[in-house]
């Protein structure tokens, strides 16, 4: 394995191989096999290719969008040609390549090209900005950064110039679309070569980003063996076959839409992947109808929107056989509504670190609505423990710990963090609270990690707090979740403004008529904080949705910020804050 990664102990690796969970194939081989078996079948359908630009969306025969289709044979060939071009441009086996592309045929081709080169894509999310991207590029020692020219009004080349200036090891920027001074992705496709050895199944295939426990995103190295195990188990549980048509509504750069079973699981099964321009019903529903989409994966907020839109849209959604909902807490009412209005629901609880728990295909309606399915493999070792790390009695709630054939044993280059995030015998501490029912189903009951799950987007509280504390008018800050009817949770920043002599210099002259003694009046507004964070290059989804000015932050008896008390105070109707201690 690559230096900086934690391998599975040899005896576990042997067992996973003996049991056929790791089957010695690489992701590049998988596509080769699918291309052999399903050559002329359609692998990918998309509204456009990125290199054609968003202006290319034309009308098709029936007034719908003109679609781009790619067969398995074409996808296989294009991946080979791009792999050849990447090698010629200096990308070597074992390199890391930072990839920040929206859902597109190019993203899929690029992933397979990198899988075949033996270089690992580091999958950044489209909303990430300078702060996240610089960290990812520097931490992984990425040799290249792949971006679209513009996406949703944002010029990624500008960002790339800044990142390149800040990360000396980043040798090249590859642009999908108009490259300006950089390298065009479309210019990299070269004659394929079959005399180059590929990676081994136990090598790292890709890096996913952690939803975050503490600090910046940790890097999750997934091997060919383990990720193929992940997507095969998920594809089997969803009963995928060559007739499967998967609509990728969520970003493919995220584990859920990539491999649970997602895009890769569908291509493994010989099915078709459909890429709408956006996940909105306006873009997705016509494609569900025209492509006879059979399954998709949604986060709860999107599932709610779709169930409402299904009532009035007039589009035929009857081909939907399975609708996964997960990534954030799914209430029973929503699960039932999805089942009634969209298609059979499958609850999905998972994490980029590994463990996947999904509803089995034969679950009765009650279990479908009230549980988050069952771990996909009997080789998933799941424990539920109390605060001292002792197993709780059967059926009780505690922190979920997991070890298994597709759950990592350590983050990349994170020795210190790994010592806390994993038990000495290799169990991953998920930070989620769960209980296990007598039927072996998981019920997720909350979490102990300090992360806000904003409709599936994970916002690590301490990362945002660090940015807030850098603001000259903020003396202390705590970020907590507040309930939200649409996203499930939103972020609220409780800030203590700078006051008194220490802050006087920052706050202007007290003799100035505009000066006020009220700290709240001088605290930065939500808008000012949003602007401040934008300037610091932070992804927009991490900007606090709400800002409350408090005189002080309540503390627990051991002197930590008492976030439970803050949350309770914020939830009280009409409460602005929990009062804390007087300033």
Rounded CA-CA distance 502/500 in Å is 6
Q: Between residues 95 and 432, which has the closer beta carbon with respect to ligand AMP?
A: 432
The verdict on 227 binding ligand AMP (CB under 6 A) reads: no
Footprint of ligand AMP on 543-582 (CB under 6 A): none
What's the chain's Rg over C-alpha atoms? 24
**Cβ–Cβ under 8 Å, residues 534 and 543:** yes
The verdict on 255 binding ligand AMP (CB under 6 A) reads: yes
Q: Is the dihedral of CA 154, 155, 156, 162 positive or negative?
A: negative
CB of 220 to ligand AMP, least distance (A): 8
Token pair recorded at residue 304: 């709610």
The verdict on 489 binding ligand AMP (CB under 6 A) reads: no
CB of 357 to ligand AMP, least distance (A): 8
The verdict on 430 binding ligand AMP (CB under 6 A) reads: yes
Query: Of 182-190, 343-351, 491-499, 559-567, which part binds ligand AMP (CB under 6 A)?
Result: 343-351
The verdict on 204 binding ligand AMP (CB under 6 A) reads: no
The verdict on 428 binding ligand AMP (CB under 6 A) reads: no
The gap from C-alpha 152 to its chain's centroid, in whole angstroms, comes to: 19
CB of 352 to ligand AMP, least distance (A): 4
The verdict on 464 binding ligand AMP (CB under 6 A) reads: no
Q: Is the dihedral of CA 470, 476, 482, 488 positive or negative?
A: positive
Rounded CA-CA distance 435/350 in Å is 15
Phi, psi of 75 (to 5 degrees): -60, -45
Sheet holding 42-46, edge to edge: 68-71, 42-46, 272-275, 245-247, 295-298, 322-326, 345-351, 354-358, 374-375
Q: Is the dihedral of CA 429, 431, 432, 434 positive or negative?
A: positive
- In terms of DSSP H, where are the helices of 402-508? 415-421, 461-469, 500-504
* Interaction pattern, residues 360-399, with ligand AMP; x per rule: CB under 6 A: ------------x---------------------------
Query: Of 11-19, 125-133, 303-311, 350-358, which part binds ligand AMP (CB under 6 A)?
Result: 350-358
DSSP notation for 22-45: S-S--HHHHHHHHHHHHTTSEEEE
Q: At 293, which helix (H) or strand (E)?
A: none
Backbone dihedral region for residue 53 (phi beyond 0: left; psi -120 to 50: alpha; all else: beta)? left
The verdict on 310 binding ligand AMP (CB under 6 A) reads: no
Q: 3-state SS of the chain: helix, strand, coil percent to 5?
A: 35, 25, 40
Footprint of ligand AMP on 145-184 (CB under 6 A): none
Query: Of 41-49, 108-116, 326-334, 381-389, which part binds ligand AMP (CB under 6 A)?
Result: 326-334
The verdict on 454 binding ligand AMP (CB under 6 A) reads: no
The verdict on 328 binding ligand AMP (CB under 6 A) reads: yes
CB of 551 to ligand AMP, least distance (A): 32
Residue of the chain from 22, 189, 349, 427 that contacts ligand AMP (CB under 6 A):
349
Rounded CA-CA distance 277/285 in Å is 11
The verdict on 444 binding ligand AMP (CB under 6 A) reads: yes
The verdict on 230 binding ligand AMP (CB under 6 A) reads: no
The 3-class secondary structure across 506-560, one letter per residue, is CCCCCCCCCCCCCHHHHCCCHHHHHHHHHHCCCCHHHCCCEEEECCCCCECCCCC
Q: Between residues 179 and 354, which has the closer beta carbon with respect to ligand AMP?
A: 354
Residue of the chain from 157, 232, 458, 522 that contacts ligand AMP (CB under 6 A):
458
Interface with ligand AMP (CB under 6 A), residue total 20
The verdict on 206 binding ligand AMP (CB under 6 A) reads: no
The verdict on 100 binding ligand AMP (CB under 6 A) reads: no
Q: Between residues 211 and 426, which has the closer beta carbon with respect to ligand AMP?
A: 211
The verdict on 301 binding ligand AMP (CB under 6 A) reads: no
Q: 185-209: string of b/e by CB count within 10 Å (b at 16+)?
A: bbebbbebeeeeebbebbbbbbbbb
The verdict on 334 binding ligand AMP (CB under 6 A) reads: no
DSSP notation for 229-283: HHHHHHHHHTT--TT-EEE--S-TTSHHHHHSSHHHHHHHHT-EEEE-SSSSHHH
Q: Between residues 111 and 481, which has the closer beta carbon with respect to ligand AMP?
A: 481
The verdict on 262 binding ligand AMP (CB under 6 A) reads: no
The verdict on 267 binding ligand AMP (CB under 6 A) reads: no
Q: Between residues 199 and 405, which has the closer beta carbon with respect to ligand AMP?
A: 405
**Cβ–Cβ under 8 Å, residues 98 and 133:** yes
DSSP notation for 135-151: HHHHHHT-SEEEEESEE
The verdict on 346 binding ligand AMP (CB under 6 A) reads: no
Query: Of 14-22, 133-141, 349-357, 401-409, which part binds ligand AMP (CB under 6 A)?
Result: 349-357
Q: Between residues 8 and 256, which has the closer beta carbon with respect to ligand AMP?
A: 256
Residue of the chain from 156, 232, 447, 542 that contacts ligand AMP (CB under 6 A):
447
CB of 567 to ligand AMP, least distance (A): 17
Q: Between residues 328 and 492, which has the closer beta carbon with respect to ligand AMP?
A: 328
Residues in the chain: 583
Q: At 433, which helix (H) or strand (E)?
A: strand 428-436
Q: Is the dihedral of CA 65, 71, 72, 75 positive or negative?
A: negative
Query: Of 101-109, 159-167, 173-181, 320-328, which part binds ligand AMP (CB under 6 A)?
Result: 320-328
The verdict on 351 binding ligand AMP (CB under 6 A) reads: yes
Residues in touch with ligand AMP (CB under 6 A): 211, 255-256, 326-330, 348-352, 372, 430, 432, 444, 447, 453, 458
């Amino acid at each position: 394995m690559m230096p900086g990664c934690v391998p599975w102990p040899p005896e576990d690796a042997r067992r996973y191989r003996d049991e056929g969970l790791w089957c010695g194939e690489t992701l590049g081989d998988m596509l080769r096999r699918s291309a052999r078996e399903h050559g002329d079948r359609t692998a990918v359908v998309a509204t456009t290719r990125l290199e054609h630009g968003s202006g290319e969306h034309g009308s098709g025969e029936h007034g719908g969008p003109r679609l781009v289709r790619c067969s398995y044979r074409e996808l296989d060939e294009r991946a080979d040609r791009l792999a050849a071009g990447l090698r010629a441009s200096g990308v070597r086996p074992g390199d890391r390549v930072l990839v920040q592309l929206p859902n597109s045929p190019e993203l899929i081709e690029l992933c397979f090209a990198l899988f075949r080169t033996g270089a690992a894509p580091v999958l950044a999310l489209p909303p990430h900005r300078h702060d996240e991207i610089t960290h990812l590029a520097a931490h992984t020692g990425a040799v290249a950064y792949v971006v679209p020219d513009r996406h949703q009004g944002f010029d990624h080349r500008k960002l790339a110039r800044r990142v390149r200036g800040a990360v000396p090891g980043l040798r090249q920027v590859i642009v999908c679309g108009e490259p300006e001074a950089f390298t065009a992705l479309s210019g990299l496709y070269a004659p394929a070569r079959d005399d180059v050895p590929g990676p081994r199944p136990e090598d790292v295939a890709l890096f996913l980003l952690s939803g975050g426990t503490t600090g910046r995103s940790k890097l999750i190295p997934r091997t060919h063996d383990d990720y193929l195990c992940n997507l095969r188990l998920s594809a089997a549980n969803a009963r995928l076959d060559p007739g499967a048509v998967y609509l990728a509504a969520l970003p493919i750069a995220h584990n859920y839409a990539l491999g649970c079973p997602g895009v890769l699981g569908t291509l493994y099964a010989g099915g078709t992947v459909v890429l709408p321009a956006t996940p909105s019903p306006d873009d997705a529903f016509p494609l569900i109808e025209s492509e006879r989409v059979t399954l998709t994966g949604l986060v709860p907020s999107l599932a709610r929107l779709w169930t409402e839109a299904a009532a009035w849209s007039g589009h035929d959604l009857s081909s939907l056989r399975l609708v996964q909902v997960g990534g954030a807490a799914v209430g029973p009412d929503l699960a039932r509504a999805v089942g009634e209005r969209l298609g059979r629901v499958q609850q999905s609880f998972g994490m980029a670190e590994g463990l996947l728990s999904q509803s089995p295909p034969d679950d009765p309606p009650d279990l479908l609505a009230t549980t988050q399915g069952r771990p996909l493999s009997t080789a998933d070792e799941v424990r539920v423990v109390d605060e001292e790390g002792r197993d709780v009695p059967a059926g009780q709630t505690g922190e979920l710990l997991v070890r298994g054939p597709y759950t990592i044993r350590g983050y990349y280059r994170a020795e210190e963090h790994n010592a806390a995030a994993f038990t000495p015998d290799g169990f991953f501490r998920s930070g989620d609270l769960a209980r296990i029912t007598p039927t072996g189903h998981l019920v997720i009951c909350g979490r102990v990690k300090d992360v806000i799950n904003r409709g599936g987007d994970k916002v690590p509280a301490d990362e945002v707090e660090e940015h807030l504390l850098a603001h000259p008018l903020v003396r202390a800050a705590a970020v907590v979740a507040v309930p939200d009817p649409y996203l499930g949770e939103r972020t609220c920043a409780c800030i203590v403004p700078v006051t008194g002599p220490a802050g006087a210099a920052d706050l202007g002259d007290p003799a100035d008529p505009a000066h006020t003694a009220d700290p709240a009046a001088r605290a930065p507004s939500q808008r000012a904080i949003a602007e401040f964070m934008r300037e610091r290059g932070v992804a927009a989804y991490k900007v606090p949705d709400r800002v409350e000015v408090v005189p002080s932050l309540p503390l627990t008896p051991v002197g930590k910020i008492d976030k439970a008390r803050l949350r309770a105070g914020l939830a009280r109707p009409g409460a602005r804050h929990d009062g804390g201690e007087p300033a």
